[in-house]
Structure 1
Amino acid sequence: MVKILVIEDNSDLREEMLLFLEEKQIQAIGAEDGVVGFELAQEFQPDLILCDLMMPKRDGYETLKALRNHSSTVHIPVVFLTALSERANMRKAMENGADDYLTKPFTLDELLNTIAACLNKENHYQSLAKIERERADALEQEIQLLKEINSAKENLLNKLIQEMSDPLTTINLALEMIDEASTEARRRLYLKTLKKEFSHQVQLINQATDIRKLLTPENIHLLRYFNISGESNSANETKL
């Protein structure tokens, strides 16, 4: 149900508006001045505020300023109710954040049409804001995925370098030992070591190639599970 706050110091007009809104299945509440209206706006959280321009204690301008400066009411659209002689001041009101105005005297149909137009405009703005939030969230998720993919590639490269360091050292030593081998048997032994380490290097490269194929946004859940993306998961450590 739509909720509307009516801030109007004329009690007869205020009560008539409240009765009319209730007949239209609108939950309405009234305030006799801007001070009470501002307090009710925070508590009631209406979908729209109808506010008289000239009131005691706090006029419409000051009420609007208070509403726009408070985090819980800054988003609520405000329609000013103004006498014909006050229309010259409406530019000031619109510049200060009013959404629309209705000139007194007005008919009940004019009141209802103004409310409908303002709420439709607000719903449109909210829809646009929702779309922008969804786009921003999707972009943030995409950026996060790319960060994890890049992190996974870096982790894969670091692990590959680490795993290849020891075999390369062994290969280098075996080559030196072949040159210094005193018998054919020792040469064959060192050659066997070279073949073994070469096979291990090929296996590492093949494993790295297979894992690299998984480094896509579609497989990010696998990367997280096997801790390839760099996220903490001590129970699922993996090695090449």
Structure 2
Amino acid sequence: MTKILVIEDELTVREGIIDTLTAENFQVIGAENGHLGVQLAQQEIPALIICDIMMPLLNGYQVLTTLRSEPTTAIIPLIFLTAKVSQADRRQGMELGADDFLTKPFTIDALLKAVTVRLDKQSALLKNCTAEQQKYKELEKRVQELQQFNETIEEIIQRFSEDLGQSISKINLATNMLKYIPNKVQCKRYLEILQEECEREMKILNDLSELRKVITPENFNRLQQYNLLRGKKL
């Protein structure tokens, strides 16, 4: 059930509102002054607050200011009740964050319409916030995936570079050693093989820059399925 808090110091008015809203299947809580109303709002976190302006201890403006300053109650819609509302009063209430005004005496229809409108707007706002939060979470997840992807690409390139670099170093070392082999024919053949291998390794190193174009986020998981990226997964 939707919970509504009614803050009103006049007993007959407060009970009349509570009875009307209870008959419409709302869960209604009553408070006879502003101080108690603030306490109940913070404890119960109602979906809507209906609050009189002229009250003892804390008036309606003070109640609204207090509620808007607390994160847990800041977005609860509030409808002011007043026996007389001037343009200045309305402007002051709106500047403080009031959502609507009901002028006493008001009809049941006016009360229910004001409550329905505020609750519908609040529901739409919460749905929109939920949708935006979901979009943010999805975006955050995507950013994390891309970060992981980039880190993986760099790791792969670094590993290839190190392996090929070591291989080339060994080939160059072997090439220099073969220069001192007495058998010239055998030495020449080994040198040719090593030279070919060295050129092949150099070509692979030069082609590493193209790896970024091949491994994209779109085909990353497919490459992993074919064991081309072992142990990696987005």
TM-score computed with the length of structure 1 as normaliser? 0.82
1:28 maps to amino acid: V
Q: What's the CA shift for 1:127?
A: 1.9
Q: Does the Cα contact within 8 Å between 2:153 and 2:212 map onto a contact in 1?
A: no
Identity of aligned residues (%): 33
Task: Find the residue that maps to 1:43 and give its secondary structure.
Answer: helix
Q: 1:7-18, aligned counterparts within 5 Å?
A: 7-18=7-18
Match of 1:226 in 2: 231
Task: Find the residue that maps to 2:81 and give its secondary structure.
Answer: strand
Q: 1:53-202, aligned counterparts within 5 Å?
A: 53-86=53-86, 88-183=88-183, 184-192=185-193
Which consecutive unaligned segments of at least 5 residues does structure 1 have? Answer: 230-240
Q: What's the CA shift for 1:213?
A: 4.5
Q: Distance in 2 between matches of 1:196 and 1:110?
A: 89
Q: What's the CA shift for 1:199?
A: 6.9
Q: What's the CA shift for 1:123?
A: 1.2
Q: Distance in 1 between matches of 2:178 and 2:50?
A: 95
Q: Distance in 1 between matches of 2:85 and 2:138?
A: 51
Task: Find the residue that maps to 2:126 and give its secondary structure.
Answer: helix
Match of 2:25 in 1: 25
Q: 1:85 to 1:204 in 2, by over 3 A?
A: closer
Q: What's the CA shift for 1:226?
A: 1.5
Match of 1:233 in 2: none
Q: Distance in 2 between matches of 1:135 and 1:224?
A: 30
Match of 1:234 in 2: none
Q: Does the Cα contact within 8 Å between 1:48 and 1:76 map onto a contact in 2?
A: yes
Q: Distance in 2 between matches of 1:162 and 1:134?
A: 42
2:231 maps to amino acid: F
Q: What's the CA shift for 1:153?
A: 1.5
Which consecutive unaligned segments of at least 5 residues does structure 2 have? Answer: none
1:54 maps to amino acid: M
Q: Distance in 2 between matches of 1:123 and 1:203?
A: 60
Q: What's the CA shift for 1:56?
A: 0.4
Task: Find the residue that maps to 2:71 and give its secondary structure.
Answer: coil
Q: What is the aligned-residue RMSD (CA, Å)?
A: 3.1
Q: Distance in 2 between matches of 1:224 and 1:45?
A: 52
1:75 maps to amino acid: I
Q: What's the CA shift for 1:202?
A: 7.8
Q: Does the Cα contact within 8 Å between 2:221 and 2:233 map onto a contact in 1?
A: no
Q: 1:197 to 1:228 in 2, by over 3 A?
A: farther
Q: 1:29 to 1:87 in 2, by over 3 A?
A: farther
Q: Does the Cα contact within 8 Å between 1:153 and 1:215 map onto a contact in 2?
A: no
Q: 1:161 to 1:45 in 2, by over 3 A?
A: same
Q: Does the Cα contact within 8 Å between 1:160 and 1:208 map onto a contact in 2?
A: no
Q: Distance in 2 between matches of 1:195 and 1:100?
A: 84
Q: 1:155 to 1:78 in 2, by over 3 A?
A: same
